[in-house]
Amino acid sequence: KLQQDFKCCGSNSSEDWHYSTYIMSEESGDRLVPDSCCKSQTPSCGRRDHPSNIYKVEGGCITKLEQYLADHLLIIAVVGIAVASLQIFGMIFTCCLHRELKWTFADRK
């Protein structure tokens, strides 16, 4: 799915797949790369390792993923800060509630 979404093949290049366990196994069906590397998804399209058929992105999926994270870093940071703020607010509210309940039950004795 990652290779299809980012239109890339392999960590650094499509050659990363050449000696992988999957490609070396019988399950691969003589594919050179997984079908997820193909520009147009057809059954067993990974048998043809040609630039017209395979995503040959310089830097591979790692570069694409790094760029995606860099492009969305502000959103990731804002969501992280919002979640942390909610947790801190929850802890403060819990402490206040505990303190109020402690005083309420202390007055009854």
Do the beta carbons of residue 42 and residue 31 sit within 8 Å? Answer: no
Question: How much is the pLDDT for 109?
Answer: 62
CA distance 95 to 98: 5
Question: How much is the pLDDT for 98?
Answer: 93
Q: Give the pair of three-digit tokens for residue 107.
A: 């007055």
- One digit per residue, pLDDT tens: the chain, 109 residues? 889 889 888 888 888 888 899 889 888 888 988 988 888 888 888 888 788 888 887 778 998 999 999 999 999 999 999 999 999 999 999 999 999 888 877 766 6
CA distance 67 to 61: 10
Q: Give the pair of three-digit tokens for residue 73.
A: 């870093």
Do the beta carbons of residue 57 and residue 10 sit within 8 Å? Answer: no
